[in-house]
Amino acid sequence: MYISEQEKKDILTQYDNQETSEKVLIHLRRNYPLKITDIPGFPSQKFIMVDDKIKWFNRNSKKDLINLIYWNIIDHFPNTDEGIIRRTIRKYINKLKSE
């Protein structure tokens, strides 16, 4: 799946008027990096590791990924609103899918 530059900009502008947390985004970048399989003869697949398990982007729904990551990081940000954390995770997942 290829996303044009305009579609990438549209995805990122969805979150311009909504509040997200820079601290949560930094935590996500450090602990849940994008990984890509590179097996000769097969198309590359994107995934992230959540709770020591592989979560494929094309097999798992975005809602499930947000919930899994949310319940893994909620203890790291006790004073941050749940909505802000979930919006930040959604923003991060959209960014990873568009790469």
pLDDT (tens digit per residue) in 14-40: 666 678 889 999 999 999 999 888 888
Domain count across the chain: 1
Residue partners of 11: CB distance under 8 A and separation at least 6 = 3, 94, 95, 98
**Dist CA 77 CA 83 (whole Å):** 12
pLDDT (tens digit per residue) in 6-15: 887 777 776 6
The residue type of 32 is Y
What is the arithmetic mean of pLDDT over 67-88? 92
What is the arithmetic mean of pLDDT over 77-97? 90
pLDDT confidence band for 55 (50 / 70 / 90): confident
For residue 5, the model assigns a pLDDT of: 81
Q: Which tops the pLDDT comparison, 99 or 54?
A: 54
For residue 16, the model assigns a pLDDT of: 66
**Dist CA 26 CA 74 (whole Å):** 14
What is the arithmetic mean of pLDDT over 65-72? 93
Helices (H), 3-81: 5-13, 22-31, 62-73
Name the residue range of residue 30's domain: 5-98
